[in-house]
């Protein structure tokens, strides 16, 4: 079955050549893109969709979410808006609510959040454990996550539960808990921050998870300067997320990880992506991550929602893109790239994988997964020009119409 999408006013491919085509068309064949080019040269297909002069982008790739939770932290949010500062301790409130919720309800809640994201143009999504914090509850979070998300990250090292010894809890995270979640996850993360895990504990978690064959990412430099970025670089993590407080040495260290990467060809050794989470920065009243400076230094960035009940209760990637343009001084092309190709790079999914037949996501090119987002606007610029307006008109996920 093939579908021709034609009459596209602006096709922002986010491919290696950064092409933006006018008066374009795309053909979807099964789950993949089989053709793109000028509408006037489009081949025939089984079915046709008239895009009506709208803009077509890759679907959003949300590379950082925490969707497996129950409960609500409105009171904490209100206190923050009244002047309190964010601390990692709020995680415990969500852990209590999550542990008290059945598998059925936890799955239903997570599926609802995924549906909300997809309806706004997200077509590939990562999510994490981290609200279980014991072997039983981390394992069930990982199992549920593996049924609702495209990529699952183990975050047993999110907070040391009250009353537990930090080093003993770190042993649990690196030992029995890791063994129990391993069948369900392909990534591991550690919240390396004051009030969460210190440098030595974070290093132990990263080493154990690396030894278990997991890809790595780090929550780092969110609440102040610290060792998060340097650890991510040392361990060859795919991303370091938050990155609000960076020293010049941090920025240089991240840039150095990309020295073997040929960005024009999308080839070579990938380094560590800096993932910026602007919705979280606004909700926690932290300074926005220095996305402009990172890009100028040659560090690829991703934009992600960080959807979670504590610091960023939104799945709107469009909101992140809007904020990145209006407040972080990214161009619209850079912001859309960070929310599509950048997220895919952070998940190592920007190119296909011949071994298991996985298709590339995060950009529009022949052979890539047909993850497409049609805006109700003639250009992507409208995402920033019309802030707050819901602009998603249609979504295709792996070739299937999802909205
Ligand atoms: O990414 N920073 C750590 N984890 C989450 C917050 C989790 C919470 O407060 O519930 C984040 O912001």
Tokens of 94: 């969500």
Rounded-to-integer distance, Cα 140 and Cα 350, Å: 29
Of all protein residues, the one whose alpha carbon is nearest to atom 5 of ligand 1 is 311
| Ligand 1 mutation target, pool 64, 85, 88, 314, most atoms within 8 A of CB | 88
Every domain of the chain and the residues it spans: 2-57+363-401, 60-346
| Ligand 1 mutation target, pool 91, 133, 217, most atoms within 8 A of CB | 91
pLDDT tens string for the chain (403 positions)? Answer: 999 999 999 999 999 999 999 999 999 999 999 999 999 999 999 999 999 999 999 999 999 999 999 999 999 999 999 999 998 889 999 999 999 999 999 999 999 999 999 999 999 999 999 999 999 999 999 999 999 999 999 999 999 999 999 999 999 999 999 999 999 999 999 999 999 999 999 999 999 999 999 999 999 999 999 999 999 999 999 999 999 999 999 999 999 999 999 989 999 999 999 999 999 999 999 999 999 999 999 999 999 999 999 999 999 999 999 999 999 999 999 999 999 999 999 999 999 876 677 999 999 999 999 999 999 999 999 999 999 999 999 999 999 999 9
CA angle 324, 327, 331 (to 5 degrees): 50
Closest atom of ligand 1 relative to the 155 alpha carbon? 4
Tokens of 124: 């590939």
pLDDT of residue 89: 85
What DSSP letter does each residue of 124-137 carry, written as one string? EEEEE--S--SHHH
CB of 340 within 8 A of CB of 57? yes
Q: Please tell me the distance between residue 228's alpha carbon and the centre of ligand 1 in angstroms.
A: 15
Q: Which fold has domain 2-57+363-401?
A: Urease, subunit C; domain 1 (2.30.40)
CB of 225 within 8 A of CB of 261? no
Pocket (CB within 6 angstroms of ligand 1): 66, 90-91, 94, 191, 219, 222, 280, 306, 308-311
Q: Please tell me the distance between residue 88's alpha carbon and the centre of ligand 1 in angstroms.
A: 7
pLDDT of residue 283: 98
CA count, 13 A, side-chain hemisphere, 188: 30
| Ligand 1 mutation target, pool 311, 313, 314, 320, most atoms within 8 A of CB | 311
CB of 312 within 8 A of CB of 294? no
Which residues face 24 on adjacent strands?
8, 38
Closest atom of ligand 1 relative to the 306 alpha carbon? 1
Q: Please tell me the distance between residue 92's alpha carbon and the centre of ligand 1 in angstroms.
A: 11
Rounded-to-integer distance, Cα 315 and Cα 62, Å: 9
Q: Please tell me the distance between residue 163's alpha carbon and the centre of ligand 1 in angstroms.
A: 20
| Ligand 1 mutation target, pool 62, 63, 64, 66, most atoms within 8 A of CB | 66
Q: Please tell me the distance between residue 220's alpha carbon and the centre of ligand 1 in angstroms.
A: 11
Q: Please tell me the distance between residue 308's alpha carbon and the centre of ligand 1 in angstroms.
A: 7
Rounded-to-integer distance, Cα 126 and Cα 39, Å: 34
Among candidates 275, 268, 260, which has minimal Cα distance to 305? 275
CATH of domain 60-346: 3.20.20.140
pLDDT of residue 22: 98
Rounded-to-integer distance, Cα 70 and Cα 88, Å: 17
Q: Tell me the pTM.
A: 0.98
Instruction: For residue 271, give every residue at least 6 positions away whose Cβ sits within 8 Å of its Cβ, in sequence order, or none.
Output: 254, 256, 257, 258, 259, 260, 261, 299, 300
Q: Please tell me the distance between residue 330's alpha carbon and the centre of ligand 1 in angstroms.
A: 25
């Amino acid at each position: 079955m093939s579908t021709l999408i034609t009459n596209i006013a602006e096709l922002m491919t986010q491919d290696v050549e950064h092409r933006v085509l006018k008066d374009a068309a795309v053909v979807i064949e099964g789950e993949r893109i089989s053709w793109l080019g000028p509408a006037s040269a489009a081949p025939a297909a089984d079915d046709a969709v008239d895009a009506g002069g709208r803009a077509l982008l890759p679907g959003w790739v949300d590379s950082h979410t925490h969707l497996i939770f129950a409960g609500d932290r409105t009171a904490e949010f209100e206190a923050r808006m009244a002047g309190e500062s964010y601390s990692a301790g709020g995680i415990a409130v969500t852990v209590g609510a999550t542990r008290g919720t059945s598998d059925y309800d936890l799955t239903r809640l997570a599926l609802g959040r995924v549906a909300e994201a997809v309806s706004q143009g997200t077509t590939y999504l990562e999510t994490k454990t981290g609200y279980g914090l014991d072997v039983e509850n981390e394992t069930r979070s990982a199992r549920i996550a593996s049924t609702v998300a495209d990529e699952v990250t183990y975050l047993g090292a999110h907070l040391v539960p009250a009353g537990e010894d930090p080093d003993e809890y770190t042993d649990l995270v690196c030992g029995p808990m890791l063994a129990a979640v391993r069948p369900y996850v392909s990534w591991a993360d550690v919240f390396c921050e004051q009030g969460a895990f210190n440098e030595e504990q974070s290093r132990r978690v990263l080493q154990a998870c690396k030894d278990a064959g997991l890809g790595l990412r780090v929550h780092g430099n969110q609440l102040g300067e610290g060792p998060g970025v340097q650890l991510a670089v040392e361990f060859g993590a795919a991303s370091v997320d938050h990155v609000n407080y960076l020293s010049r040495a941090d920025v240089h260290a991240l840039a150095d990880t990309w020295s073997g990467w040929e960005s024009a060809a999308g080839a070579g050794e990938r380094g560590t992506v800096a993932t910026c989470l602007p919705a979280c920065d606004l909700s926690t009243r932290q300074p926005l991550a220095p996305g402009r400076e990172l890009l100028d230094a040659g560090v690829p960035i991703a934009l992600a929602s960080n959807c979670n009940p504590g610091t960023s209760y939104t799945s709107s990637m469009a909101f992140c893109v809007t904020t990145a343009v209006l407040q972080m001084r990214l161009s619209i092309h850079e912001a859309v790239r960070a929310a599509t190709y950048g997220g895919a790079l952070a998940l190592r999914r920007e190119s296909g994988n011949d071994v298991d037949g996985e298709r590339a996501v995060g950009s529009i090119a022949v052979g890539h997964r047909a993850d497409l987002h049609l805006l109700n606007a003639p250009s992507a610029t409208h995402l920033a020009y019309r802030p707050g307006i819901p602009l998603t008109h249609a979504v295709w996920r792996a070739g299937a119409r999802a909205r």
